[in-house]
Amino acid sequence: MASLKEVKTRINSVKSTRKITSAMKMVASAKLHKAQGAIENMLPYQKKLNKILTNFLSADLPIESPYVKEREVKRVAIVAFSSNTSLCGAFNANVIKMLLQTVGEYRTLGQDNILIFPIGKKVDEAVKRMGFQPQETSPTLSDKPTYQEAADLAHRLMGMFVSGEIDRVEIIYHHFKSMGTQILLRETYLPIDLTHIIDEEEQKEQMNEEQKDKGEAERREVANDYIIEPNAEELIANLIPTVLSQKLFTAAVDSNTSEHAARTLAMQVATDNANELIQDLTKQYNKSRQQAITNELLDIVGGSMK
């Protein structure tokens, strides 16, 4: 059995750790509150942009875009979002696991034909351990994402896709649903997939409208809800880069919000575990102290009887 001094030292050590985890939880919670407000305000805008783009690209308009064309995948780019720091539970481990799975699916292309764009130090370190040379990205896009940084990366990926340097772009990131739930997503960024760009509710609404109106009236509803100036071609040409830049920025903010949520939860669990350990150690300390007092009393009684 450990001595009283050793148990007391352990109790003080756990109390010090509890102060740290409790402080980290409060900091992460404050950051989460700010980031949650940003993502909740951004998602409706992102969905509306997606709906407008899908309506135009799905309508019977003589418009072609290089960003929606499928072609044989000979070279792929993968953008993976992680955090710059640890102590956020399985947040980074899940991203790295999904990245390994994705890379495994494209192994037949050859390592030189798999370009990985790591967002965050943790996934950057994992990419190097995998034997890949990570592509250069902004170091602050993970913890302090800005639209300009996201737009710069988006335009870089769009340029590579249009030039034929890459044939597909996939993104891996966490979607914030609640403080206790962050959903890891893997999505095709380029080419634009019209079947997934609208959420399920909007698809149901569209299907209901299609059942009501058939033929030419249906097409007029899709395309004529908007006044197009100067023309549809220029609108689509300007809209697609905006939508793709916004999508990448939304993914960065979503991942950042999920990181703060995961860290808040992890620090809460660590604090709770510290409280339980302190209680157990305190019981052990009291039990050992009582045993020591009892032994001393027995020694005194035994000595007086001699």
Question: How far, CA to CA in Å, does 220 sit from each of 187, 210, 211, 239, 246?
Answer: 31, 12, 15, 20, 28
Q: Which amino acid makes up residue 207?
A: M
CA distance 68 to 57: 9
**Side chain identity, residue 241:** P
Query: Rounded CA gap, 243 and 36, in Å?
Result: 21
Orientation of helix 216-223 relative to helix 4-58, angle to 10°: 130
- What would the two tokens of residue 119 be? 């967002």
How far apart, in Å, do the first and last CA atoms of the chain sit? Answer: 30
Q: How many CB atoms lie within 10 A of CB 134?
A: 17
Burial class from Cβ neighbours inside 10 Å (0-12, 13-18, 19+) for residue 185 reads: middle
Quick one: pLDDT at residue 205? 47
pLDDT in the model for residue 60: 63
Question: Tens-of-pLDDT digits for all 306 residues of the chain?
Answer: 567 888 889 999 999 999 999 999 999 999 999 888 888 888 888 888 878 777 776 666 666 778 888 889 999 999 999 999 999 989 999 999 999 999 999 999 999 999 999 999 999 999 999 999 999 998 899 989 999 999 999 999 999 999 999 999 999 999 998 888 899 999 999 998 765 555 444 544 444 454 445 444 444 444 446 677 777 777 777 888 888 999 999 999 999 999 999 999 999 999 999 999 999 999 988 888 887 788 777 777 776 665
Question: The pTM is what?
Answer: 0.81
Backbone angles phi, psi at 11, to 5 degrees: -60, -45
Q: Can you read off the two tokens belonging to residue 23? A: 């402080």
Cis peptide before 191 (omega within 30 of 0): yes
The pLDDT of residue 304: 62
pLDDT of residue 196: 59
Instruction: Output the pLDDT for position 195.
Output: 58
**Phi and psi angles of residue 172, each rounded to the nearest 5 degrees, phi first:** -125, 120
DSSP three-state, residue 173: strand
* pLDDT the model gives residue 115: 96
CA–CA distance, 169 with 190 (Å, rounded to integer): 5
Residue 273, classified by CB atoms within 10 Å of its CB into exposed (0-12), middle (13-18) or buried (19+), is middle
What is the model's pLDDT at position 290?
84
User: 269 to each of 3, 18, 50, 262, how far by Cα in Å?
Assistant: 29, 11, 38, 11
Euclidean distance between CA atoms 179 and 275, whole angstroms: 22
> 101, 79, 257: which is closest to 182 by C-alpha?
257
